[in-house]
Amino acid sequence: MFFFGCVEAYIYGDYELAVNFAQKRHETGFDVPFYGMTDFFDCLSFLAMAHQSGDQKWILSAKKSISNIDYFAKICPSNCEHKLLLLQAEMKSIMGEVEEASSKYELAISAAERNEFIHEQAIANERAAEFSLRNGDSSRAAHHYGEAQSLFLKKMGRPEES
């Protein structure tokens, strides 16, 4: 329950609720064996909170999750490479490393597409759009938001809207 609550809260942009679900799951000691998925969404939530609050505690939590995803990416890159790249992009963004972050976002999107993780490709596009907006590139943000919407609709089995 806590894992799915974290995912849903993250997807809907309620990052504080997402980290509360992640923390509750850790407190109960009930981690679900979803091969890197818990660390992925925990980390996305921690990084979103770091963006919002600037609090370093979220960076420390994120670094632990990134380390876990790095381990999974070495074992099975087709399942976790894009996750790692997206988390690295988000971390680079927080650290103000704009060029490196931009490159990592594009690599994450490509890796997710190559390995057919449509929903995570959509998330990567959405995060790239937010990054682009924060850095004054509204044209690129619009492109990535459009891609994210198209991919989310595709994942839900709906035709794209014109």
Identify the pLDDT of residue 9: 86
Identify the pLDDT of residue 93: 97
Is-contact 89 101, C-beta < 8 A?
Answer: yes
How far is the C-alpha of 130 from the C-alpha of 145, rounded, in Å?
Answer: 8
> Taking the mean position of all CA atoms in its chain, how far away is CA 21?
16
- Measured CA angle at 60 (ends 57, 62), to 5 deg: 110
Closest CA to 98 of 120, 128, 121: 128
How far is the C-alpha of 52 from the C-alpha of 104, rounded, in Å?
Answer: 21
pLDDT, averaged in runs of 10, over the chain (162 residues): 80 86 78 75 94 92 94 94 98 97 99 96 97 97 96 75 52
